[in-house]
Structure 1
Amino acid sequence: MFLFKTFMKKDEMDNFAKVLVLYTGGTIGMKKKNGTYVPAPNEFGNALRNDPTLDDKEFIDAYFGDVKDQPYCLPSHHETKKRIVYWLNEYDPLLDSSDIKLDDWIKIAKDIEKYYNDFDGFVVLHGTDTLAYTASALSFLIDNLSKPVVVSGAQIAIVEEDSDGHDNLIGALLVAGSCNVPEVTVYFDGKLLRANRCVKLDSISTGAFVSPNVDPLAVMDKVIKVNEKEEFKQPENKELSVTDKLCENVTILYMYPFIQTQMVETALQEPVEGVVIKSYGAGNLPSNREDIMDAIKKAVNRGCIVVNTSQCVKGHVHTNYETGKMIHDAGVIFGADMTTETAFVKLSYILGRDDWDLEMKKRMMTKSLKGEVDEREEEEKENEDSAEINEEDKMEQYKPV
């Protein structure tokens, strides 16, 4: 597919930053038909070719004129050390992000692995509805990254005059081709976010994605300014690897007033192996509902991993309230400041790890594998629990016989 190895000298290619764009689908490449947006196979590449801000045609003709499937190149006015040349790999069929499946996540990860040694960075274009899930999944599926993988998309198709897709694509390409951010990220509306920390907050605004509990990794201000203190450091000198197994038997249980017992029991029964509970506020459930607690305990006792996250966009869950402590004592894992999307995907990933036993899987849910959770909160909780146990031991020593 990519022919630059066969006709260009190595010293020539060293002058370029090579980026592979995996166009999986989504609004960014759609066109309007009968008043609604529809997928438009092979149209996205034409739109790029006809936009001089996205493709320097003279440069491409000069260096790649004899190639049938020419790459694209960002104009030279972008302040980068190397010219960013990018190749487009359009998926067939194009995926509607609301139809995304586990196999699609694995395919994207495998495609990055397949072409990893040929490119300096990768951009994944994706529909916005499930973009946060896919970006988070890629962060867990791909180990030992030493190159940027940037997920992006658009709220408005790139063929429209007011499209945000234009700036999002340029920003994603600049990160992938010129920034040393060796992790999976999301670029949207001038901000670079950690993939497993972002959520879709707005269904209309071009500022659709936010990272509620951590600062952006970088912001675009004429040039990209990287916040190095927020970067996740991958293990050095290790070969890239991709996991190809995820567990489908995970679900999300949204808590609401007067939820019926049967609803809770159904979400927690076999074959479900993992459940993410979206609880109230700081991690609370009804204190007077023994039926809910019984269903949770039953699931935990049979080996189901239950994780508690908040319905709030910002903040974290903790055991400061009695109702929160009650479910923690029942064996529910507190997700700290993880987003629900990330907790769900991480649970699928961890349950797919056949090399870990149940206790290891539970322990890893509380650990930061890819910068997705603030481990300090869990450590503080463990210290508090340890202090309480020690205090109880002391009291036991002084009890009258």
Structure 2
Amino acid sequence: MRKILMIGTGGTIACKQTEDGLTPGLTAEDVLAYIPAVKNVCDVEVTQVMNIDSTNMTPEYWKKIVKAIEDNYDNFDGFVICHGTDTLAYTAAALSYMIQDSEKPIVITGSQKPINREITDAKTNLLDSFIYAADEESQNVCIVFDGKVICGTRAKKDRAKSYNAFSSINFPYLAVIQDNMLIRYIKETKTGKTVRFYYDMSDRICLLKLFPGMKSDVLSYIFANYDVIVLESFGVGGIPETLMETFYKEMDRWRDTDKLVVMTTQVANEGSNMTVYEVGRKVKHDFHMIEAYDMTLEATITKLMWVKGMGCSNEQLRDLFYTEINRDMLFAGKKRAV
């Protein structure tokens, strides 16, 4: 029987009701006790690295999760991380870059209701996660939630309360789990590479969400204080006329530095393409701008944190950003030449 390490981090799945609302209070051992059927699936050991609401998740906590996995990597066949749902997609994406080429599964799960409730999705999600983690074909970072297996770089929480809280963006589900049976849609292939762990994540990344009527003075502040600015624009990507003058002025001012602007879109599905409209084509050409294409926002942000954390130059950053990692970008090789 395969040996799985369950890592507790808090979240709704581990919450207790208090006078001030739900707050993480159950230990990893407490949570595991609610699914006795796991003994028929795998052998489980537990460790608690934190017990927080996932709203409070930071890169420093990601490092603690990575350290727990690296320290135990040779002793277990897979890992299941219990996590709050609100930042779960960010953590899944971040771990996809911080732990690469893992031939062992690193499964992240959580729930919309605490596991100690009579009616809850937590027991099913957690048991499904062990079923997936215990399968010898499973590998890399993924999310198991509501019977679906989602690649770690492709998940987005798009429902606040419903059990089907997560969708896979611009990529199929890897598998589904129905009645304790794992059904694979995409076959996993072992790469034979040695797993790599990374810890340095830059805090010099800023996300600016555009909206109609936005004042341009915010651009000057952001360019002065951050190294990489992710512009979350409309549709396939572009910059409004009202921001263009200031944007060009700031890009010219910082041209010979390591400042970078990355274009992404507020539309979840189908991705960006700045060459379609005039509002995007000219600025992309003038500044050789990077764009996220079909990547999720969560993957875009955390990948930039990882690349910048390694101290890469702008040219190295461009190459690494357009290098596919854990299925984060389709046709990555073609995109580099655009």
User: For the superposition of Structure 1 and Structure 2, which TM-score range results when normalised by the shorter chain?
Assistant: over 0.9
- Note the C-alpha offset of 1:161: 1.5
Counterparts of 1:130 and 1:301 in 2: how far apart (Å)? 35
Counterparts of 2:74 and 2:43 in 1: how far apart (Å)? 16
Query: Higher relative contact order at CA 8 Å, sep ≥6: structure 1 or structure 2?
Result: 2
**1:212 pairs with 2:197:** no
Encode CA deviations 1:257-286: one digit per residue, 9 max, x unaligned.
Answer: 12112112222223x111211010001221
- Note the C-alpha offset of 1:46: 3.2
Counterparts of 1:148 and 1:47 in 2: how far apart (Å)? 20
**1:36 pairs with 2:17:** no
Counterparts of 1:41 and 1:173 in 2: how far apart (Å)? 19
Q: Partner residue of 2:302?
A: 345
Q: Partner residue of 2:113?
A: 156
Give the letter for the 1:239 counterpart. T
Counterparts of 2:262 and 2:291 in 1: how far apart (Å)? 6
Secondary structure class of the residue paired with 1:91: strand
Counterparts of 2:63 and 2:30 in 1: how far apart (Å)? 28
Counterparts of 1:47 and 1:124 in 2: how far apart (Å)? 12
Alignment of 1:118-267 (within 5 A): 118-222=75-179, 223-229=181-187, 231=188, 233=189, 235-236=191-192, 238-267=193-222
Give the letter for the 2:266 counterpart. Q
Whether the 8 Å CA contact 1:300–1:331 is kept in 2: the answer is: no
Alignment of 1:273-312 (within 5 A): 273-287=227-241, 289-312=244-267
- Considering only aligned residues, what root-mean-square deviation do their CA atoms show, in Å? 1.9
Q: Partner residue of 1:88?
A: 46
CA 1:163 to 1:213, structure 2 compared with 1: closer, same or farther past 3 Å? Answer: same
Which of structure 1's runs of 4+ aligned residues deviate more than 2 A? 44-49, 238-241, 292-302
Counterparts of 2:317 and 2:278 in 1: how far apart (Å)? 26
Counterparts of 1:104 and 1:381 in 2: how far apart (Å)? 32
TM-score (norm: length of structure 2): 0.93
Whether the 8 Å CA contact 1:96–1:127 is kept in 2: the answer is: yes
Counterparts of 1:144 and 1:178 in 2: how far apart (Å)? 17
Counterparts of 1:47 and 1:371 in 2: how far apart (Å)? 31
Give the letter for the 1:373 counterpart. M
**1:55 pairs with 2:10:** no
Encode CA deviations 1:26-68: one digit per residue, 9 max, x unaligned.
Answer: 00011112262112143x523532x4xx225xxxxxxxxxxxx
Select 1:116's aligned residue among 63, 73, 81.
73
Counterparts of 2:293 and 2:13 in 1: how far apart (Å)? 34
Counterparts of 1:167 and 1:299 in 2: how far apart (Å)? 51
Counterparts of 1:326 and 1:267 in 2: how far apart (Å)? 22
Encode CA deviations 1:286-308: one digit per residue, 9 max, x unaligned.
Answer: 14532233334544542212111
Counterparts of 1:27 and 1:144 in 2: how far apart (Å)? 30
Counterparts of 2:43 and 2:124 in 1: how far apart (Å)? 17
CA 1:292 to 1:305, structure 2 compared with 1: closer, same or farther past 3 Å? Answer: closer
Give the letter for the 1:136 counterpart. A
CA 1:47 to 1:304, structure 2 compared with 1: closer, same or farther past 3 Å? Answer: closer
CA 1:281 to 1:298, structure 2 compared with 1: closer, same or farther past 3 Å? Answer: farther
Counterparts of 2:218 and 2:83 in 1: how far apart (Å)? 33
CA 1:325 to 1:27, structure 2 compared with 1: closer, same or farther past 3 Å? Answer: same
Whether the 8 Å CA contact 1:183–1:234 is kept in 2: the answer is: no
Q: Partner residue of 1:79?
A: none
- Note the C-alpha offset of 1:199: 0.7
Q: Which runs of 5+ in 1 are unaligned?
A: 1-15, 57-73, 77-82, 386-401
Counterparts of 1:296 and 1:366 in 2: how far apart (Å)? 22
Counterparts of 1:163 and 1:295 in 2: how far apart (Å)? 51
**1:46 pairs with 2:30:** yes
Whether the 8 Å CA contact 2:169–2:268 is kept in 1: the answer is: yes
TM-score (norm: length of structure 1): 0.79
Counterparts of 1:224 and 1:381 in 2: how far apart (Å)? 36
Secondary structure class of the residue paired with 2:310: coil
**Which of the pair has more CA radius of gyration?**
1
Secondary structure class of the residue paired with 1:178: coil
Secondary structure class of the residue paired with 2:52: coil
Identity among equivalent pairs (%): 28
Give the letter for the 1:91 counterpart. V
Q: Partner residue of 2:284?
A: 328
- Note the C-alpha offset of 1:371: 1.3
